[in-house]
Structure 1
Amino acid sequence: MTTSSETQKLVVVTGASTGMGASAARELARRGFHVLAGVRRDRDADAIRSTGIEPLILDITEPEHVEALAARVESDPRALHALVNNAGIQVNGPVEALPLAEWRRVFEVNLFGHIAVTQVLLPALLRAKGRVVNISSVGGKFAMATYGAYAGSKFALEAVSDSLRREVAPLGVRVVVVEPGGVRTEMAARGVETANRLSARMTPEQEERYGDMVRANNELMASGTASGLTADAAALVIAKAVTTPRPRTRYTAGRDAALIVRLGRILSDRTLDRVLAANLRRHQP
């Protein structure tokens, strides 16, 4: 529900071109916030521009883009209520075979870019006693085979979120993590394409060791995405994290995420390994 106070507040959403980011931007605008929506291309800006949504060209790995965002926020008389760090990429591959350049690219987007945006917007958030909402993943708690880079970046984001929460809570800023499971977005499809491209570059020995595993994980990813939450449903969880007066430190999004988190609390590592391996075997060619 829109309130008069919300119409006077800003929310920044990164990665708002498609998927959860776009849906969250629309949901928050519907609730009366003025949303600064970070997108990568002009056509994405045209697609999302609407009442309450102001698109900005924003690549969070480009310092000049991040500085321009900070200047835009500083020039606005409205308080910055929340920063939603949503931008992300998914790159899967076995630890042995995934090139270091790909590891660095994943961490630049999924971790360092978020830190850069958070650093420049924290002064405004501190003034407004706002909040930071970091979009992690169930992969930020449990790393399946071939998910080392992606899950590693999300594990790191979870740790940074914990540290930041403990630093700024005494100053009135809340830090919330959202952990989605499978969501029907374009990111998973792009992740499968990237995994196939990278697996084609494996040596014959690596193909023999990991090829079936990579293909099974791609099938698992595709099926999990197809049966997952819609982006609009995930956006409702994000909106709750943004608007709830006393938010929890973490929210899962989707039944699969809630189930995996529960299993992780009660099962040993070895038992969980066997559960995940059995699930993966169902998808092997």
Structure 2
Amino acid sequence: MAELTPPRIVLITGATGGVGGALARRLSADGWIVYAAHRKPADAGPLRDAGLTPVLLDVTDEESVVAAADVVGPRLDGLVNSAGIMGQGPVELVPAEAWRRQFEINVIGQAAVIRAFLPALRAAGGRIVNLGAVSARVAPPFFGPIAASKAALSALTQALRMELRHQGVKVSLVEPGAMDTAIFGTADKASADMGWAGSPETQHRYAGALDAVQAAAARQPLGPVAPAVNAVVRALTVRRPDTLYTTGRDGRALVLLRFLPDGLRDRLMLRAMGVTAEVFRTSTAATVG
């Protein structure tokens, strides 16, 4: 009698988010044992009701990360780092606390999770998939915090991929475009709660530009999460996964902009976002007046 193949095991951080939740349900339907990492205890029930195995994990709390690794056990076929936050705003106005939180969750926390689960991944010859963003390669104005943190995650992923090349663990990065998830609303609330740095005059200088960017963002159609989910599934299952997957029509278009001369690219992006010299002149004049 042929020996039955045991189901594959995956841990997904950010499993209560748009991409992480959709991915968890997809892999569970495909027969994986899915450990769905969550930060709030109240989320455990709904995850369990969805057929997933909830595990409490806060990427900023290393004790929590180590405890989650103990729960999952000695073998792990896949680790998907989907947890993350989106910081936005002018570099001059984003408070230091917001920058620290951005990197603590999107970079340092990811490294802590990888470090804790690598022994189990090595034991299974598993795979790591990190969720980045196309803004890591072409950073739009007023999205510096998220772009900077995802660029750091991209560099971390590249180094990790080479470090694990001869240890049997494959590493991929998925960089989606803008998707229809709650992250934009969460980012707006976080900015409002934390407020801006700088004097009232400095803040007013950016008022018109921020209004223009918000209006442009509202007009932008957000893509579905399915392409990103499909890319993660491929990275976990195909024999030779790509090192980088870029998804979404806007994601692929944004990446192409990096081949343009910097000056031309800057003008095109600023125009698309409605950020003109007149916007700043008007704000500056109002500030002076």
TM normalised by structure 2 equals: 0.88
Corresponding residue of 1:137: 133
Contact 2:91 2:144 in 1 (8 A): yes
Matched, 1:272 2:260: no
In structure 2, the residue corresponding to 1:8 is in which secondary structure? coil
1:87-110 superposed Cα distances (whole Å, 9 cap, x missing partner):
001111211111111100000000
Letter in 1 for 2:105: V
Corresponding residue of 2:229: 235
Against the structure 1 CA distance between its residues 222 and 122, is the aligned structure 2 distance closer, same or farther, given a 3 Å change threshold? farther
Against the structure 1 CA distance between its residues 207 and 51, is the aligned structure 2 distance closer, same or farther, given a 3 Å change threshold? closer
1:224-278 superposed Cα distances (whole Å, 9 cap, x missing partner):
3xx22223443222222221221110001211101111221x2111111011001
In structure 1, distance between residues paired with 2:50 and 2:204: 53
In structure 2, distance between residues paired with 1:91 and 1:210: 17
Letter in 1 for 2:39: R
Q: CA deviation at 1:197?
A: 4.3
Contact 1:13 1:85 in 2 (8 A): yes
1:25-84 superposed Cα distances (whole Å, 9 cap, x missing partner):
111111111011111223322222246510112111011210111111225xxx311100
What stretches of structure 1 of length at least 5 have no aligned partner?
Answer: none
Q: CA deviation at 1:11?
A: 0.3
Matched, 1:47 2:43: no
Contact 2:36 2:55 in 1 (8 A): yes
Deviates more, 1:65-74 or 1:109-118: 65-74
In structure 1, distance between residues paired with 2:102 and 2:20: 18
Q: 1:146 aligns with which of 142, 152, 168?
A: 142
Matched, 1:256 2:246: no
Matched, 1:31 2:30: yes
1:104-253 equivalent positions in 2, closer than 5 A: 104-198=100-194, 202-224=198-220, 227-253=221-247
* Cα RMSD after superposing both structures: 2.1
Contact 1:179 1:250 in 2 (8 A): yes
Identity %: 36
TM normalised by structure 1 equals: 0.90
Corresponding residue of 2:72: 73
Letter in 2 for 1:204: P
Matched, 1:90 2:102: no
In structure 2, distance between residues paired with 1:255 and 1:130: 30
1:4-29 superposed Cα distances (whole Å, 9 cap, x missing partner):
64x52210100111211110111111
> Based on CA coordinates, which of the two structures has the bigger radius of gyration?
2
What stretches of structure 2 of length at least 5 have no aligned partner?
Answer: 284-289
Corresponding residue of 2:287: none
In structure 2, distance between residues paired with 1:245 and 1:44: 34
